[in-house]
Amino acid sequence: MKKIGELFQEADWKMEKHVPVIECADAVKADEFFEVKVTIGKEIAHPNTTEHHISWIALFFMPDGEKFPYQIARCEFAAHGASVQGPNTSTVYTHHAVTGWMKTGKPGTLIASSYCNIHGLWQSSKEIKLK
């Protein structure tokens, strides 16, 4: 049986539309809030249709020297054009991007994960240093 970590796919976000892209400063001040944005399809647009969409994005932070990561945020996307009239007939759609704020007293690694209803689990990471 596969372990959950073996199910996550990774790729260069400039070449693959499913990879979550983490945007924030490379170095932040200790214990001061900083903005983090996670998007899907930054370079190559990902569709957002009833049949093919991003269901959720989650963000974790793994501080250096600690045993487990902290879950920073999770966002579910529920509007993909579906309605009682059928697929892609609604005028309501979500966009797969999330912005939040966090602070840390330690350097570490941000880990973003996402789920495409057709192409499964994806992840990326970004190292965060302290100034």
Choose, from 37, 106, 119, 126, the residue flagged as catalytic.
119
Choose, from 23, 29, 51, 52, the residue flagged as catalytic.
52
Q: Is 32 a catalytic residue?
A: no
Look-up of token digits 């200790």: 30
CA distance 46 to 89: 19
Q: Is 18 a catalytic residue?
A: yes
Q: Is 119 a catalytic residue?
A: yes
| Cβ proximity of 127 and 109 under 8 Å | yes
Q: Is 17 a catalytic residue?
A: yes
Q: Alpha helices of the chain — where are they, by DSSP H?
A: none
Choose, from 66, 95, 116, 129, the residue flagged as catalytic.
116
| Cβ proximity of 28 and 16 under 8 Å | no
Choose, from 24, 46, 53, 96, the residue flagged as catalytic.
46
Look-up of token digits 């070449």: 15
Choose, from 16, 42, 106, 126, the residue flagged as catalytic.
16
State the catalytic residues.
16-18, 46, 52, 116, 119
